[in-house]
A and B are shown apart, each in its own frame.
Chain A
């Protein structure tokens, strides 16, 4: 069951971990995203996560002899849309073959792009204005998935391996950033921002846990003030934004250790070990692959016309950065709260509620604190505005407002109607006052402590009286009104 009232997800590493003095971090990120197409990149098989193994396959995505690829035009369209959202140039592009042997790759080459990618030279602007350059965002096919059974669970010591080719040929875009990132927070913010762009454009569902968004980090360090690029390591197998931060920090410290002890890191691929909290060496330098790229002769170049690109631009939905700016302006709320609302895609609701007359800052606060749910599609702007108004006016207590928000999430509709059907009538002030008087009479000792000079006592007793009244009214009393009455009576 969904907990409607869960506290807003908070960043669990609010403080930037600091590296030893004198060292600067240099990070480039390579992000693979699966495109949200109905079918695979080169054949008509379903692009679907979670099917029975080897059910979404055909001669082409199995790479059977004689089969040929046919480009999925909607994948190209999504890739170009993403490119434009990242501010890239969309180029004439060609597919290339990246040759290496691996059992989950049916043709023993991957069809990708090499020197002529579809998108190049873009940028992502983070919430705080920091700019990460995008070198390229190119189209490629995914591989199948291997499961190594027995032994150490790795390909060469397993008893046997199982391969599922459902994922083989699923369309991917690989987004390669420039090595612009200097802090772990920016690395994480970049991935979050990309995710927001992917969701906003409908390019991908961008789920790291399902593998539809995969992040590799190229990490190196250098002395502060230096412009050199030192040996970098590519960290793979990072499964969450949190792990990304941990992996970069671990790797940076490892490099600094090596450099300060007359050593040097090897340029290599390393794997993030989530449980061990460390990176481990992947392939050694000796078997570094020469991929022997060459143009894919079975496909023709992609040559989008200027009209095609213009049409993509015209149909571009508002992107997170623009939406943040708009909500920030409309609400005057805290930038990080606005960021959360936009990240959740609740900015449309926020704007509608503000338009309907709700107090803008309160709208943002309420959304952040009380609407951390998966599906809020039934909540309408006007209803949300009305709920906030009712609570502000004391017609509903905070607890009641939360309950009614739950009703809105589940059923939609009008908050006043939900309040009526729950029997949440605003309590008559006179009625509340006589209740308070009765309580004071019944509890003279507590009252004396409330009116005494000890601040701690006063606070405790305030809690006591409020609790008693809430109990007596089954939570229907407005907490603020109670506080006001208690203050009046004690003065």
Chain B
């Protein structure tokens, strides 16, 4: 049952939010032992929220557009009084004294948060294998990864544990797991959704977004969480998108661009699998069939995104993660001096991937290396913004694969970080530019696993991404591949 159907039923009094909750909790209980989507299921708190929704309905009050819809929260969203770990030992046991803005907005909309989902530690990874609490398994094939870093949320939605889920996307961490798990995942324009209460990985890239089984459900959730927040200085003033209202507009007359360098054309990046490229081409054909014009576009700097990203993101992370020093909260390993205590706590608290990125970022910012690394990455970022701006003069949206391949087997890439990093080659550019992007399931690969196709739009084009995704969703359901 879709999120919108549940909300309609709860709002009309046809179903009770507590019954909806019990049904989903039972599914989690039965299925999450194999999947491990959740770090923590907060059944009691969820029941209180569901009861509040039922009480509002009984009183005749408006219970909100997502009344009674169970949602999963990535475990890097702060929840008041509820452990928030980032899947890291360094934060084990820490209970935030406040709620993230998205959590507050979802609750105000009547959604019921059922728990905190697994992620790559501090959102650093593409498979949810870098979790201090063990990996999440892909519900479509338990031997495969769910993608990452929002793998827990993607799995929760794919397994129908929750109709909706919240993720965060720094380099593809919503879109790539959405593709791997066969669900819809959307990264909004930077600043469309408040980051207040999202535990930072790379502040200039992080953005919160929705997961759902359908484009319409994802749009409904996006509409609830988007909008300015005085607590986040980077949130966009006066921006109040309404994606739900544009879903039936179609794509007739829309100009669709295909990025040559990310679609198997000349100068294309390595590692894009044939079946994924085939599905992407079919998606483009479907848009053309629906009335869009299609054009190949070259964005040469798109291929530099990966290198720039792996300097910018670790640099910011090295600073953002400095505060986990054992002094105020989280893990403390005692040692004779304060400095040694800091080191011991961080050594014991962080996993290998987090340590790798802190070191990378520290070097990238160091005197003598700054210009060659961080400074150069900023230049690539500027160049990329310019090239994408030029592309969007010619087309309204761009279409690419979401990820180079379908979900890969657990353990296959943990030994070699570079093979893991290339997963994000198609998603990273929009984090560096701050542009919105959505991944929508479009057929399956040779291995029978879902393929995701990505729709990109310029800044503030959030509604447009949903509009186009909606057409692709219908085309996919209509039997393409």
Report which A residues bind B (CB closer than 8 A): 59, 62-71, 97, 99, 101, 103, 106-109, 155-156, 161, 163, 290, 292-294, 297-300
Chain B residues 344 to 393 lying within 8 A of chain A, measured CB to CB, are 362, 365-367, 370, 374
Additional 18 contacts, C-beta under 8 A, given A71-B233, A99-B318, A106-B323: A59-B98, A62-B328, A65-B78, A65-B94, A65-B96, A66-B77, A66-B98, A66-B197, A99-B322, A101-B339, A103-B338, A155-B337, A156-B337, A290-B367, A292-B319, A294-B316, A294-B365, A297-B316
**Cβ 8 A contact of B231, one of A68, A109, A292, A299:** A68
The 7 closest A-B CB pairs, nearest first, are: A108-B322, A297-B204, A292-B365, A297-B203, A66-B78, A65-B199, A66-B197
When chains A and B are docked, how far (Å) is the Cα of A163 from the Cα of B327? 10
* Complex interface: chain A residues within 8 A of B370 (CB): 292
When chains A and B are docked, how far (Å) is the Cα of A107 from the Cα of B200? 12
When chains A and B are docked, how far (Å) is the Cα of A103 from the Cα of B327? 6
Interface: B310 (CB within 8 A)? no
When chains A and B are docked, how far (Å) is the Cα of A389 from the Cα of B400? 91
**Total A-B residue contacts, Cβ distance less than 8 Å:** 100
* Complex interface: chain B residues within 8 A of A155 (CB): 337-338
0 or 1 for each of B198-209: is its CB under 8 Å from A? (1 = yes): 111011100000
The answer to whether B319 and A101 touch across the interface, beta carbons within 8 angstroms, is no
Interface: B315 (CB within 8 A)? yes
Interface: B97 (CB within 8 A)? yes
The smallest C-beta distance from A163 to any residue of chain B, in angstroms, reads 7
The smallest C-beta distance from A301 to any residue of chain B, in angstroms, reads 11
* Complex interface: chain A residues within 8 A of B233 (CB): 68-71, 298-300
The smallest C-beta distance from B167 to any residue of chain A, in angstroms, reads 15
Interface: B40 (CB within 8 A)? no
0 or 1 for each of B62-75: is its CB under 8 Å from A? (1 = yes): 00000000000000
Interface: B8 (CB within 8 A)? no
Report which B residues bind A (CB closer than 8 A): 76-78, 84, 86, 91, 94, 96-98, 100, 195-200, 202-204, 230-234, 315-316, 318-319, 322-323, 325, 327-329, 337-339, 342, 362, 365-367, 370, 374
When chains A and B are docked, how far (Å) is the Cα of A329 from the Cα of B97? 61
The smallest C-beta distance from B230 to any residue of chain A, in angstroms, reads 7
* Complex interface: chain A residues within 8 A of B98 (CB): 59, 64, 66
Q: A65-B199, A290-B367 are in contact. Are A107 and B338 (CB under 8 A)?
A: no
The answer to whether B96 and A108 touch across the interface, beta carbons within 8 angstroms, is no
* Complex interface: chain A residues within 8 A of B342 (CB): 101
The answer to whether B325 and A101 touch across the interface, beta carbons within 8 angstroms, is yes
* Complex interface: chain B residues within 8 A of A297 (CB): 202-204, 234, 316
When chains A and B are docked, how far (Å) is the Cα of A294 from the Cα of B367? 11
The answer to whether B323 and A65 touch across the interface, beta carbons within 8 angstroms, is yes
The answer to whether A106 and B96 touch across the interface, beta carbons within 8 angstroms, is no
When chains A and B are docked, how far (Å) is the Cα of A422 from the Cα of B128? 88
The answer to whether A300 and B323 touch across the interface, beta carbons within 8 angstroms, is no
The answer to whether B234 and A300 touch across the interface, beta carbons within 8 angstroms, is yes
* Complex interface: chain B residues within 8 A of A108 (CB): 322-323, 325
* Complex interface: chain A residues within 8 A of B195 (CB): 68
When chains A and B are docked, how far (Å) is the Cα of A300 from the Cα of B322? 22
The answer to whether B329 and A101 touch across the interface, beta carbons within 8 angstroms, is no
The answer to whether B328 and A106 touch across the interface, beta carbons within 8 angstroms, is yes
The smallest C-beta distance from B74 to any residue of chain A, in angstroms, reads 12
The smallest C-beta distance from A118 to any residue of chain B, in angstroms, reads 16
The smallest C-beta distance from B96 to any residue of chain A, in angstroms, reads 7
The answer to whether B197 and A294 touch across the interface, beta carbons within 8 angstroms, is no
When chains A and B are docked, how far (Å) is the Cα of A72 from the Cα of B230? 12
